Amino acid sequence: MNTAMVQRLVYKDWYFNRWPIVLYVALGLLSLGLVSQGGELAFFAGSVALITVLISIGIHLTMVTVIHERRDHTLAFVMSLPISAREYTLAKLLANLLIFGLAWGTLAVGAVAVIAGRASLPDGLIPFTLTVLGELFAGYCLVLSVAVVSESLGFTIAAIVVGNLLVQALMYWESHLPTVAADLQGDALHWRPQLLAVLGAEAAAVVLLLGLTFYFQSRKTDYL
């Protein structure tokens, strides 16, 4: 394994995306500030803004690091460096997961902290919030995997649409489960089996998507 080379490529993607990511995280923190104001409208607006920011970070990263790299022919530059196709895939996934993970992790910790810290926000929201954050992470992995494997804008947009619909469907379904709906109003933390199953499925989806990406990449015979 050509670790130094993979590191260079990860660093490169960070270097080109660092300012937009800082900006997105700042917007995410502003959304959290809005949520913490209390009041139904502020809570609703803040959480929609936060979800939007997280989805946007994923789309932005995937577009810039995967789709544009191919469209702008900078992929040829990268592939001309001493790196194998497998290492390229690894570097691309690592860079994306690390950069997205950094932003996502910051905002996830922030969201839990805001809910736990504000008396006006019932702590019972936390398990629900984590499943939604997990879904956003898995949805991002779906978009990233489709982009890396297909190298196509069309398929990537389709994956973005599917990912967003899944988030909406999940939130609707969970909030209409009688037990979960009741939990959302109280301060007690209840890890309902449905929510644990969702978290498990999300983690499995992430692992499966990344595994499939390596599998499909290894079957390619043309990298340009």
- Give the binding site for another protein (CB under 8 A): 2, 4-5, 8, 12, 16, 72-74, 76-77, 79-84, 87, 221-224
Between 5 and 167, whose beta carbon lies closer to another protein?
A: 5
Residue reference for tokens 């983690």: 203
Nearer to another protein, 1 or 41 (CB): 1
Phi/psi for 151 (5° steps) reads 55, 25
Q: What are phi and psi of 37, to 5 degrees?
A: -65, -25
User: C-beta of 217: minimal distance to another protein in Å?
Assistant: 13
CB 82 within 8 A of CB 5: yes
In this complex, which beta carbon is closest to another protein, that of residue 2 or of residue 106? 2
Say how many C-beta atoms besides its own lie within 10 A of residue 184's C-beta: 17
Min separation Cβ 100 and another protein, Å: 20
- Least distance to another protein, CB of residue 85, Å: 8
Shortest spacing between CB 75 and another protein, in angstroms: 9
Return d(Cα 108, Cα 102) in angstroms, integer.
10
